[in-house]
Amino acid sequence: DIKTADLRDLGEAKGGYGLFDLADTAHARQRAGSLRFAQPARVRKVLFPLPDRLVPGYFVELVSGDAERTSSDATAWVFGASDGRYLYRENLSHAATFDYRVWTEDDDKHTPLGGPLADMSPHPTGRPDGHLPRFIAPSLISIEGFNTNPDGRADPWLPADATSTRGNNVDAYADHNAPDGFSSGDTRAELSGPGAFDYTYDLRAEPLAAPEQIMAAVTQVFYVTNWLHDWYYDSGFTEAAGNAQRDNLGRGGLDGDPFLAEAQDDATGGSRDNANMDATYDGASPRMQMYLWTGPDLRSLSVTPQNANYASNTAMFGPQRYEVTGELALGEDDAAPRGDACGPITSDVAGKVALVDRGGCAFAEKARNAQEAGAVGVIIANNRESDGAPRLAGDDPDVTTPAQSVSLEDGGALKAALAGAQAPLRITMTREPSVERDGTIDNTIVAHEWGHYIHLRLVACGTQMCGAQSEGWGDFIALHMALREGDDLDGAYPLSSYGSAALGDSYFGIRRAPYSVDFAKNGLTFRHIADDERLPDHPLNVSAPQNSEVHNAGEVWAAMMFEAYVALIQHGSGLTPPRAFEQTRRRMSDYVVAGMKLAPANPTYTEQRDAVLAAALASDQGDFRAMAEAFARRGAGTCAVSPRVDAQGLSGVVESFKVQPEIALVRAELDDSAGSCDRDGLLDAEESGTVTIEIVNRGAAPLSGAVASIEGPGGGVTFPDGARVSFGDIAPFATGTATVPVKLDRNMKPAEDLKLDLTLKSAEACTPTRVEALVRRVNYDEVPGSSAVDGVETQSTTWTVEGLSGELVWSRAEGTAPNRVWRGVDLGTLSDAALVSPPLEVSETERFVLTFAHRHQFEASDGTFWDGAVIEISADGGETWVDVAKTADPGYGGRVTSESGNPLARRRAFVGESPSWPELDRVSVDLGTAFAGKTVRVRFRVGTDEAAGDTGWELDDIGFAGVKNKPFATLIEDTASCQRGPAADAGADQAVAVGELVTLDASGSSDPEEDELTFSWTQTAGPAVELLGDGARA
């Protein structure tokens, strides 16, 4: 943090620049640390254009660097002269192109291949026939970066003087050792030569066989994650949108968070057959951990004389190549449960294969105990239902006995066979392993994990359904990267064919079925996210029976998105002229990013569908229609219904296979605009007004012929022009408005709750008839400044809303109609929003007491309070605020956690559910005389973190005792009179001669109240006349 005093003015230079350098003082050196100016900074005055005006500023050109290094960076800035704020930044240093040996396409953007295998997108045979793809060699390519930044250039992945895979977007390294993150013994890829990372991964050697092998893997993951950064940058995942970069280059968002790509994570600790993504929010580095995977091996576990074979898994410890045969025996110790082999085995297993149960201790400990009891082999049966045979992780160099595992079900079958055997059962265990495979170089796994990161940076996601979508988004990001121009769009597209080779047939990859628009290959539709739904009959690689498990349910979302992508490609190719494949590819990623940005917190499948479709509709109606029809083919048509967010097993899906309109009410408002007595905007007795009805078409097809009709209570209200109104054509996701004239008669009771039934009809809609019950208060007046208690029932309000996402959090809403309340929503995104009172003049002598009724339901889990609310008070006009709890106890229920970035972290607050939920609790906070004689403001403040939300907070009847002013309005009976006098009509003008007799006719006069009229004639001007009669005619 360098101050003006730390600079030395070197005078003026040509071009009107002033020159400055760091002062040669101890204070300046301390503040600058290792920073040094490579040359004096140049500064001059400029006028900088803002959208609406020119502002004075200072142009600063700075060439600086670390004193310990030979390189420097040049940057230009413009700072505002009046406030010092940064207005502009430009990187004046340009990096060199680097060479990378990686598995990539030979196209203009060097798109990553799926991995080190011959093309598996689509699968070469399209059948589960055991096809073994061949290995292919990586290519040496040159690239600097390819995104288009605001200056129209690409941002370099590495600075010109880089020596390792540590760039602005990505920091890639092999994280073999604890602790997590780059530490002693971990490896970044270093330059193999000038400007090159030219390492060849030997696919027939173990992943950790040599330093060059490790650096080849690190180079690959550095390349793919940078490539994904640049591709999706150009689709809108920029600094301002929250992407991960060490330096955001002045373009918005929070920086200091480069993407951490950890290759071969915990390889020496035994982590295998997985990958994960810690997708932290903007400003903290996301962390991707890529693991090693078991290589495909030939293994067997057979039983004689049954001639039965059992599916098994292998151990990371003990011998890796073996063939042993022995009699099967239960391995039991003397401590319960006896079958877990966690103590010395006392049953006879010498020379036999011991069958033991999982649980209680490490796998290697069980094997060692069996070995010490003389067993020649050990089988560990899973203790988890429907979980298959587990991989036996761990490390024990003393174990020399072969070990395999079986599922819980197969373990039970072996025990039953053993118990009923007439002769000894003999087990033969074999294993012939291959080298392990490195998930780091399986680009589809990397893309999947990167997909979690972009999704969770753009969508607040804390529910099972949203988590399933995140798994689906990961798969779709990988599919989008893998699909090429000219590919068979009806083919089968497996993922992770390299890394998951040990799981079985490459046709399936890592999922239950390959992705395909051919329902004979992948027939998953919306209903298959629910546990109680039977899967399609085509070949499946079923790894877990629960459809709602996030990876399984995620397959359904990815299948929908893949269907939409293929439909978009086909639509584009059918245009005249055809749209280029690369244009469609870019459009799809544009719709993905925009759809994520448009999604609500914790979206359901149909909400996320609508967000993606809305993004397409904003760009191209043809794209929108093609994608909507694709969603419908997978059961997510217009009338589809998602499960409740808290549904067990994701049950409750309603499928729809059509694209059609859907009608819903947006608002129905009542006013006195047609004939008001007092013009206060409130419909009173004897006044005429309108009911304004706004509807929305939530469907993906145009809505036509929609009508609305209103039914009143049977007396007191009439609809002069009829109670039925039609809407014009309404486009998808658009709104339409219509009005119905209404009149209240003179007998309407004061402050009456008018109950109306509003019926919406459309034969085309998912719900052809929809009835909405409306309750609106009529025939009343508001008296401003008449109370110290706000019942929240008036149209006007003196409360204000402020803070982060204030307008999204706070609103006046209907509690139990027509009762209104203030509602503070517990958002699933970061918010810090307050409802602020008007100024309150506290009495010098009376006790100041706050009262209110409330209920709340804030996000909480297992005793951890993620969101909450507090009450604060200010005595200086809102400059500073203190918690009322410093003066009196408001009844807070717990402390907001500090784990999730909530603005109220560590503070006691209203948390979880209020005591009488869902009923209201009455609260009184006696602040005594602490604020006597002061003018104060009180605020109700809600703080939420970036993850899941909940119902929130409702407030009613907010009152202040001991104040001198009355800042709130109240409701009273309507006092305005509509008594309008009769309208006199003396008839048409007449011209008559003096002395003639003429008849005046006032029978055209009328009284709006239909009262009986009396008449009196008076001459107002002209020559004197004699009036005869005193009726309508004279």
CB atoms within 10 A of CB 308: 14
> What percentage of the chain has pLDDT greater than the value 70?
97
- Residue 93's pLDDT is what? 63
Question: What DSSP letter does each residue of 153-174 carry, written as one string?
Answer: SPPPSS-TT--BSB-SSEEEEE
Check which CATH number belongs to the domain holding 204 and give it.
3.10.170.10
On whether both 798 and 933 belong to a single domain, the answer is yes
Assess if residue 655 is contained within a domain.
no
Residue 600 phi, psi dihedral angles, 5° rounding: -75, 175
Chain-centroid distance, C-alpha 179: 30
Token pair, residue 409, equals 């079900």
465 and 545 co-located in one domain = yes
Average pLDDT, the chain: 91
95 compared with 897, residue with greater pLDDT: 897
Q: Are 963 and 845 in contact (CB under 8 A)?
A: no
* Tokens encoding 110: 């060097």
Q: Which domain holds residue 319?
A: 298-433
Task: Give me 854's structure tokens.
Answer: 């409330």
Give the per-residue pLDDT at 980. Answer: 63
For residues 466 and 581, membership in a common domain is answered with yes
CB of 493 closer than 8 Å to CB of 515: yes
Calculate mean pLDDT across residues 444-452. 98
DSSP state of 926: E
CATH code: domain of residue 769: 2.60.40.10
Q: Do both 69 and 86 map to the same domain?
A: yes
Lowest mean pLDDT among 254-263, 339-348, 757-766, 947-956: 947-956
Annotate 683-728 with DSSP letters as a single string.
Answer: --TT-EEEEEEEEEE-SSS-B-S-EEEEE--SSSEE-TT-SEEE--
pLDDT in tens, 691-734: 999 999 999 999 999 999 999 887 788 899 999 999 999 999 99
Residue 658 lies in a domain: no
From the CB of residue 236, how many other CB atoms can be counted at a distance below 10 Å? Answer: 18
**Mean pLDDT to the nearest integer, 641-669:** 94
Sign of the dihedral defined by the CA atoms of residues 41, 46, 51, 53, in that order: positive
Q: Is the residue at 74 inside a domain?
A: yes
C-alpha to C-alpha distance for 199 and 216, rounded to whole angstroms: 5
Strand-pairing partners, residue 665, are: 695
495 plus 621 within the same structural domain: yes
**Which of residues 311 and 633 earns the better pLDDT score?**
633
Q: What is the mean pLDDT of residues 960-987?
A: 83
Q: Note whether 948 and 856 are within 8 A (CB).
A: no
Domain boundary among 776, 800, 824: 776
- Give yes or no: residues 254 and 118 share one domain: yes
Average pLDDT over residues 296-316: 89
Mean pLDDT over residues 819-841, rounded? Answer: 93
pLDDT at 817 exceeding the cut of 60: no
Region 172-187: mean pLDDT is 92
CB 482 within 8 A of CB 514: no
- Token pair 């106890």 is found at 889
355: left (phi over 0), alpha (psi -120 to 50) or beta: beta
> Does 824 fall in a domain?
yes
Q: Does residue 349 sit within a domain?
A: yes
Q: What's the pLDDT score for residue 1032? A: 63
For residues 172 and 717, give the distance between their C-alpha atoms in angstroms, rounded to a whole number.
72
User: What was the pLDDT predicted at 949?
Assistant: 78
Q: How many domains is the chain partitioned into structurally?
A: 7
CATH of the domain at 380: 3.50.30.30
Q: Report the pLDDT value the prediction gives residue 974, as an integer from 0 to 100.
A: 74
Q: Which of 650, 809, 658, 669 is CA-nearest to residue 739?
A: 669
453 in a structural domain: no
| Per-residue confidence (pLDDT) for residue 977, from 0 to 100 | 66
> For 862-921, how does the pLDDT look when each residue is reduced to its tens digit (9 = 90+)?
789 999 999 999 999 999 999 999 999 999 999 999 888 899 999 999 999 999 999 999
In a domain, 657, yes or no: no
Residues 223 and 278 in one domain: yes
- Domain membership of residue 454 (yes or no) is no
Phi/psi for 688 (5° steps) reads -115, 145
Q: What's the pLDDT at 83?
A: 81
Same-domain check for residues 946 and 841: yes
b (16+ CB within 10 A) / e for 293-307: bbbbbebebbbeeee
Residue 277 contacts residue 284 (beta carbons within 8 Å): no
| Mean pLDDT confidence for 106-117 | 93
Q: How far is CA 668 from the centre of its chain?
A: 30
| CA atoms of 687 and 678, how far apart (whole Å) | 9
- pLDDT number for residue 85: 80
pLDDT attached to residue 697: 96
Residues 318, 280, single domain; the answer is: no
Dump pLDDT digits (tens) for 538-577.
Answer: 999 875 579 999 999 999 999 999 999 999 999 999 999 9
- Say yes or no to pLDDT of 462 above 60: yes
Among 250-259, 382-391, 532-541, 811-820, whose mean pLDDT is lowest?
811-820
Q: What is the pTM of this model?
A: 0.72
Chain segment 217-243, per-residue pLDDT in tens: 999 999 999 999 999 999 999 999 999
Question: What are 487-510's pLDDT values in tens digits?
Answer: 999 999 999 999 998 877 889 999
Task: Give pLDDT, residue 901.
Answer: 83
CB-CB contact of 87 with 48 (8 Å):
yes
The CATH number for 628's domain is: 1.10.390.10
Question: Rg of the chain over CA atoms, in angstroms?
Answer: 38
At CA 367, angle to CA 363 and CA 369, rounded to 5? 115
Q: How far apart are CA 633 and CA 610, in angstroms?
A: 15
pLDDT at position 95 over 60: no
Distances (CA, A) of 568 to 494, 589, 762: 20, 11, 30
pLDDT value at 952 more than 70: yes
Q: Which residues pair with 971 in a beta bridge?
A: 782
Q: Which residues contact 682 (CB under 8 A, 6 or more apart)?
A: 671, 672, 778, 780, 781, 782, 795, 974
Q: Are residues 60 and 82 in the same domain?
A: yes
- Same domain membership, residue 303 and residue 278: no
**Of 34, 61, 91, at which residue does a domain stop?**
91
| pLDDT given at position 775 | 76
Question: Domain end: 776, 798, 828, which one?
Answer: 776
If phi > 0 it is left, if psi is from -120 to 50 it is alpha, else beta; for residue 229 that is alpha
The answer to whether 638 and 632 are in contact (CB under 8 A) is yes
Identify whether residues 484 and 532 lie together within a single domain: yes
User: How many Å apart are CA 930 and CA 313, to the nearest integer?
Assistant: 71
Least confident of 64-73, 138-147, 494-503, 623-632: 64-73
CA distance linking residue 626 with residue 908, whole number of Å: 52
Share of residues in the chain with pLDDT > 90 (%): 68
Q: Is 91 helix (H, G, I), strand (E, B) or coil?
A: strand
Mean pLDDT of 235-253: 94
Backbone phi, psi, residue 428, to 5°: -120, 125
